[in-house]
Amino acid sequence: MAFPYQLKTPDAYHDAYRQSQKDPEAFWAGIASHFTWHKPWHSVVRSDFHTATHSWFEGGKLNITENCLDRYAASQPDTTAILWEPNNPAESTRTLTYRQLLDEVMLFANALKHRGICKGDRVCIYMGMVPELAIAVLACARIGAIHSVIFGGFSASSIADRVQDAGAKAIITCDGAFRGAKTIPLKSVVDDALQHCPTVQSVWVLRRTHEPVSMHNGRDYDWHSETEAMRATGNTHCHAESMDAEDPLFILYTSGSTGKPKGVVHTTAGYMLWAHYTFINVFQYQPGQIHFCTADIGWITGHSYILYGPLSAGATTLMFEGIPTWPDAGRFWDIVQKHNVDILYTAPTAIRSLMTFGTAPLQNKDLSSLKVLGTVGEPINAEAWHWYDREVGKGNAPIADTWWQTETGGIMISNLAGVTPAKPTFATLPLPGVFPVLVDENGKEIAGNGVSGNLCIQKPWPGIIRSTWGDHERCRQTYFSTYPGLYFTGDGCLRDEDGHYRITGRVDDVLSVSGHRIGTAEVENAINMHAGVVESAVVGFPHDIKGQGIYAYVICSSMPANETEMRQDILQTVSQVIGPIAKPDAIQFVSGLPKTRSGKIMRRILRKIAEGETQNLGDTTTLLDPGVVEEILRGKQA
Ligand code: 7RM
């Protein structure tokens, strides 16, 4: 049997859940024993929630790429590891078998080593969705360099912040990226960013769009010539660096409730185990299947369910360079048909956006290969759930609604596709090893069923966040101090009469815009950089397609004479400071903000107004000047 720990019946799930509770050490050791280790661990798990220190498989040594590549290059060398679908359907598909992928990873790893990249160095990766992005990530892991992938939609200043915070020694990029009808000039954005990044010694450039780029002598290297040089000198084999189980594997920056994104740190063994275990169980992966996760590798979903989860299982992972609506809104369905996709994992925002095109793009598309569907990133509304089930799954493919976070490394709460029952809009039940609790504002546990509260997790799981890069105290504060002894997710949650969980959304100042996490404080900081802006307050509001939209209340130094122009300027500023994904959907100019006597902005009121509420704004008695609320209501655009 391929995966003896695959849970194939409800009973198997419940048994595993109980085992993981009764004897977590034996439970996880059993699963870990199926991986390739250089040296066995001496303790399965050690954890202290008060200092936010967690370790799994301490003493063990391994390399994640041997578990993702070498073992399958030996046992199934000709199985396709990466099946790549280009942005433009007229261009050919590329496939890399496990043998080829391993060879490419070793070659590029040697190229990095040759230019002085060593174990523990941080390497930022800012590329489009090309196979070389996967190769770059895995090459870092091969030599023990810590990768930090930066989503291709971020601006130069966002890159600079991340590169500086990580103290990165190198950055890997492309000349440009194709996304739908657009070309994004990645290298020139990197050049702008690097004016403020003294730690970067080398820049690696893969040619993709073949548009001209500036190559700095002595700093910039061409991917192709560097790897060809390795091939020419016979430098084709690269041994896998022996990593401690708790050596950092990657940093991934994510937004929180403060202005500065945090570098979430994941380590080697626990993360690998979690990505693998959740992949094979939630999606019920069977050998030979094609798995298509539509996320970008710049987000955690791409890390865990395009790369590490599927590859650690020997699966074929489909990587798509483009976007769902180009050349038309039938693109996903064309890909499913063309490649006989078995598992499709996407986001509610993508489903809702495709729904607006009706069912015409699905006509005459053969989707009969689909066996399992998945969703992630935000709560899925009932309408989108049923459309996905009916129009895509044809009522035949179970939908796994998977709740998890960058900080959790992999899926935490989800039904197991076709094994445990799905329930529209519910993530349903925790994976083995995950022990959710709901608490009230004071941290008191809310027991029983049919209740709501703040979602916390009460024991360590293998994929738990290990630190925030360069500032462990911030990790402790953010996740482990709100409710001592618990990991706080920042999400609100309902547990229904059957004990099934439904995540209702963030309870902090974090927005989920088209499934992308954006902090309101981050957007405010960006808006405030505009010379004409004095102060701003940003809140979310319900948006039909994006899930949440961004609403900004802005105070200018003098009321703008031309509001349209000022709005455009502010959007431009936000694009430059963060990236286009953070551009507000609405900007309202105001002369004051509702504040308490102690100067706190009352976002609750601003949220209600942004939602369109005019009457019931809740308690306004603590407001310093209730008049501003009247003014804001009068100025609200329909
Ligand atoms: C994987 C990912 C995390 C936040 C999380 C939630 C929301 C994610 C679901 C969901 C309801 C889901 N990582 N979220 N999945 N809400 N149902 N199935 O998205 O770090 O970028 O975002 O996303 O609010 O806290 S993330």
pLDDT tens-digit series, residues 316-366: 999 999 999 999 999 999 999 999 999 999 999 999 999 999 999 999 999
Residue-wise pLDDT tens digits, 391-424: 999 999 999 999 999 999 999 999 999 999 999 9
Residue 229 inside a domain? The answer is yes
Query: Which one has a higher pLDDT value, 72 or 598?
Result: 72
pLDDT over 70 for what percent of the chain?
Answer: 100
- Residues 267 and 248: their CA atoms lie apart, in Å, by 4
Q: Evaluate whether 301 touches 293 at the Cβ level (below 8 Å).
A: yes
Locate 147 and state its tokens. 């990768």
Could you tell me which of 222, 215, 219 has the C-alpha nearest to residue 199? Answer: 219
Place 232 in a pLDDT band, splitting at 50, 70 and 90: very high
Dihedral over alpha carbons 581, 585, 588, 589 (to 10 degrees): 40
pLDDT band at 1 (very low <50, low <70, confident <90, very high): low
Residue 596 and residue 602: Cα distance in Å, rounded? 7
Position 99 in a domain: yes
> Is the CB of 403 inside a 6 Å radius of any atom of ligand 1?
yes
Residue with CA at minimum distance from ligand 1 atom 5: 405
Q: Is 347 in the pocket of ligand 1 (CB under 6 A)?
A: no
Distance 404 CA to ligand 1 centre (A): 5
Among 180, 208, 241, the domain-final residue is 241
CATH number at residue 74: 3.40.50.12780
Average pLDDT over residues 455-464: 98
Residue 503, ligand 1, Cβ within 6 A: yes
- Whether 602 is covered by a domain: the verdict is yes
Q: Examine residue 177 and state whether it is found in any structural domain, yes or no.
A: yes
Ligand 1 atom at minimal distance to the Cα of residue 512: 23
From 380, 502, 517, mutation site for ligand 1 pocket: most ligand atoms within 8 A of C-beta: 517
| Number of separate domains in the chain | 2
Percentage, residues of the chain above pLDDT 90 = 92
Q: Is 300 in the pocket of ligand 1 (CB under 6 A)?
A: yes
Question: Higher model confidence: residue 492 or residue 637?
Answer: 492
What are the tens digits of pLDDT across the range 59-118? 999 999 999 999 999 999 999 999 999 999 999 999 999 999 999 999 999 999 999 999
CATH number at residue 558: 3.30.300.30
- Contact (CB, 8 A) for 97 and 332: no
Question: Does residue 483 belong to any structural domain of this protein?
Answer: no
Q: Phi-psi region for residue 70, left (φ > 0), alpha (ψ -120 to 50) or beta?
A: alpha
Cα→Cα distances 172→48, 128, 178, 193, 202, Å: 36, 11, 17, 13, 8
pLDDT, tens digit (0-9, with 9 covering 90-100), for 192-230: 999 999 999 999 999 999 999 999 999 999 999 999 999
**Phi and psi for 347 in degrees, rounded to 5?**
-115, 150
Summarize pLDDT for 146-187 with one digit per residue, the tens: 999 999 999 999 999 999 999 999 999 999 999 999 999 999
As given in the structure block, the two tokens for residue 226 are 């560097």
Among the candidates 221, 241, 261, a domain finishes at: 241
Instruction: Please report whether residue 251 resides in a domain.
Output: no
Q: Is the pLDDT of residue 625 over 90?
A: no
Which atom of ligand 1 is least distant from the CA of 515? 19
In terms of Cβ atoms closer than 10 Å to its own Cβ (0-12, 13-18, 19+), residue 229 is middle
Confidence of residue 263 (pLDDT cuts 50, 70, 90): very high
Tell which one of 491, 500, 516, 522 to mutate to probe ligand 1, the residue whose CB is within 8 A of the most ligand atoms. Answer: 491
Does residue 404's CB lie within 6 angstroms of at least one atom of ligand 1? yes
Integer Cα distance of 404 and 457 in angstroms: 11
Please say if the pLDDT value at position 266 is more than 60: yes
What is the distance in A from the centroid of ligand 1 to the CA of 117?
Answer: 34
Can you read off the two tokens belonging to residue 560?
């703008």
Whose C-alpha lies nearest to ligand 1, atom 10? 378
Instruction: Write down the pLDDT at residue 626.
Output: 83
Q: What is the pLDDT of residues 16-70, one digit of tens each?
A: 999 999 999 999 999 999 999 999 999 999 999 999 999 999 999 999 999 999 9
**Cα of 400 from ligand 1 centre, angstroms:** 14
Domain span at residue 203 reads: 64-241
Give the list of residues 6+ apart from residue 477 with CB closer than 8 angstroms, or none: none
Whether 63 is in the pocket of ligand 1, judged by its Cβ within 6 Å, is: no
Q: Which atom of ligand 1 is nearest to the CA of 375?
A: 18
Q: Indicate whether residue 254 lines ligand 1 (CB < 6 A).
A: yes
Q: In the prediction, which pLDDT does 596 show?
A: 81
Indicate which residue's Cα is closest to atom 16 of ligand 1.
Answer: 378
Mean pLDDT rounded to a whole number for the chain: 96
Q: How far is the CA of 13 from the centre of ligand 1 (A)?
A: 23
pLDDT at 253 over 70: yes
Which residue has a Cα nearest atom 7 of ligand 1? 378
Q: How confident is the model at residue 256 (pLDDT cuts 50, 70, 90)?
A: confident
Q: How far is the CA of 78 from the centre of ligand 1 (A)?
A: 35
Does the residue 370 lie in any domain? no
pLDDT digits (tens, 9 = 90+) for 522-571: 999 999 999 999 999 999 999 999 999 999 999 999 989 999 999 999 99
* Residue 6 included in any domain: no
Structure tokens at 443: 């941290």
Confidence label for 598 from pLDDT (cuts 50, 70 and 90): confident
Ligand 1 center–CA 534 separation, angstroms? 33
Dist CA 519 CA 538 (whole Å): 9
Cis preceding linkage at 327, omega within 30: yes
The answer to whether the CB of 512 is under 6 A from ligand 1 is yes
pLDDT of 2 > 90? The answer is no
Helix residue ranges, H only, 283-340: 300-302, 309-312, 331-339
Q: Compute the chain's Rg from CA coordinates.
A: 24
CA 257 – ligand 1 centroid, Å: 15
pLDDT band at 303 (very low <50, low <70, confident <90, very high): very high
Q: Can you give the pTM of this predicted structure?
A: 0.95
User: Residue 638 — pLDDT band, cuts 50, 70, 90?
Assistant: low
102, 147, 108: which is closest to 124 by C-alpha? Answer: 147
- Ligand 1 centroid to residue 504 C-alpha, Å: 10
The reply to whether ligand 1 has any atom less than 6 angstroms from the CB of 427 is yes
- CB 379 less than 6 A from any atom of ligand 1: yes
Which residue of 305, 402, 405 sits with most ligand 1 atoms within 8 Å of its CB, as the best mutation to test the pocket? 405
Centroid of ligand 1 to alpha carbon of 589 (angstroms): 31
Out of 241, 272, 289, a domain closes at 241
- The string of DSSP letters for 331-376 reads HHHHHHHHHT-SEEEE-HHHHHHHHTT-SGGGTT---TT--EEEE-
Task: Extract the runs of DSSP E, i.e. beta strands, from 409-486.
Answer: 436-439, 451-457, 467-468
| pLDDT given at position 552 | 97
Give me the sign of the Cα torsion angle 468, 473, 477, 481: positive
- Give me ligand 1 centre to Cα 308, in Å: 19
Q: Is the CB of 173 under 6 A from ligand 1?
A: no
